[in-house]
Structure 1
């Protein structure tokens, strides 16, 4: 494989990194093109004696300068735009360290090389970035669950994850009233409630008042995942694992536009 072909293989991944780093596809692609133009203009400037992928990222970072203001806000639609808005609010070096290690899969040592740092600092920067994401996605949670033991279990998990539980409701009417009173930023809802009503209907009524991301909990997911009608974006199956709840909450909050800091 030629040098050019070797670099070409890694370009889609570099574009992904550049877009996440800058928060903009336009800005990221422009920086990648600038990097390639610099390599073509002066091939001797390309790092030697290291893995070509590592060298390519090093060349890119040497050309990268912070963007600010509106350039950091991706203009695309949907979940990806929301995620990039969150990333853009992490200061540059922690964002670099997080993306290089968690998204691009570089080791802490390789990330340290790319950032002109050392392993300890990279690990500290990653921890800082993760803490900022957790701060951004802190939630006030409404639990809609009619089984007391399960409700207590969910409440403990939610609090252990660093979120607040604003209320626990067991019926449709209680859920709607609690939502209107507390304005939660996340709802965890059982599908079947104590008054024989449906948790989905309770959430629908809540959503007529305001937007809030929702995770549904059910022992019978096959009844909801039929493909015949709109399905819940986030669904946990009973009995559930703590890791499942944690992952669902993280996803629901990270991709929710209402909880992105202004």
Structure 2
């Protein structure tokens, strides 16, 4: 492992994995980026920022199928999903503050032209479900169903065949959102974003982990970017 204190790097790993998975749109490819980052010398930054920087350097640098450039994608993820200040994100990507701000603004502008998808929301709290519906529909997507229980989620996913699932983990008496997702994905391929107050339950490096995790309470932009990344993963067409 790199020269940075091992304990600090280990604490930063869940964040690096979340960033890498979101950047690639895939759990396994994201984890491979983190592994590559740990094998290479890290830049002289605090451990968490250094890992982000190494992941960004290892990521393919090319526009995705919608034309969003890699620096724009990374600035959006680092500031909204990873909650970095623009100055810290600039240091991660080796940009000036002015360059970083411009890439961030260009990325936000590009999000407005993204093609829509149909979404199933798995959430037992009616107010949160309504908020999720409002946010994703404001981004141009369509919520085709809301499920409050594990059984209802599996049934609606089978019937509606959504293009994306937004799921909470804790469904109260209605069961477990991650169990519902596992049952759904056993029968169909569909990207999933977990929107949860318990992200640590999904970033343990034990068992199967998701590609996308957004922490509650969430910023609208963070959710919008996660939806974009899930629908348009970070790879060129045909790859």
Q: What is the TM-score normalised by the length of structure 2?
A: 0.53
Of the candidates 122, 125, 133, which is equivalent to residue 147 of structure 1?
Answer: 125
Equivalence for 1:86? 65
Q: Supply the distance in 1 between the matched residues of 2:162 and 2:70 (Cα, whole angstroms).
A: 34
CA offsets 1:208-246 (integer angstroms, 9 cap, x no match): 221010001211212221122232111111111111111
* Alignment RMSD (CA, Å): 3.3
1:79-122 Cα distance to aligned partner (Å, 9 max, x none):
969x86615xxxxxxx5xx659958xxxxxxxxxxxxxxxxxxx
Aligned to 1:250: 228
Match of 1:208 among 180, 186, 194: 186
User: What is the distance in 2 between the residues matched to 1:147 and 1:251?
Assistant: 25
**2:169 touches 2:196 (CA, 8 Å); kept in 1?**
yes
State how many pairs are aligned.
147
C-alpha spacing 1:99/1:233, structure 2 compared with 1 (3 Å): closer
Q: Does the alignment pair 1:134 with 2:114? A: yes
Unaligned runs of 5+ in 2: 1-58, 74-105
Separation in structure 1 between the aligned mates of residue 198 and residue 205 of structure 2, nearest angstrom: 15
Structure whose alpha-carbon radius of gyration is higher: 1
SS of equivalent to 2:65: helix
Residue in structure 1 matching 2:157, options 179, 182, 188:
179
Match for residue 209 of structure 2 among 227, 231, 241: 231
- Structure 2 CA distance, aligned partners of 1:101 and 1:252? 17
How many angstroms apart in 1 are the aligned matches of 2:165 and 2:206? 24
Instruction: For 2:159 and 2:191, locate their aligned partners in 1 and report how far apart those are by CA, in whole Å.
Output: 17
Whole-Å separation in 1 of the counterparts to 2:70 and 2:212: 28
Gaps of 5+ in 1: 1-78, 88-94, 104-125
Q: Do the aligned partners of residues 204 and 256 (structure 1) sit closer, same or farther apart at CA in structure 2, a change above 3 Å counting?
A: farther
Q: Equivalent residue of 2:127, what SS?
A: helix
Give me the TM-score of the superposition, normalised by structure 1. Answer: 0.49
Greater helix share, 1 or 2?
Answer: 1
Matched residue SS, 1:191: coil
Q: Distance between the aligned counterparts of 1:245 and 1:202, measured in 2?
A: 21
- Distance in structure 1 (CA, Å) of the matches to 2:193 and 2:72: 25
3-state SS of paired residue (1:195) = helix
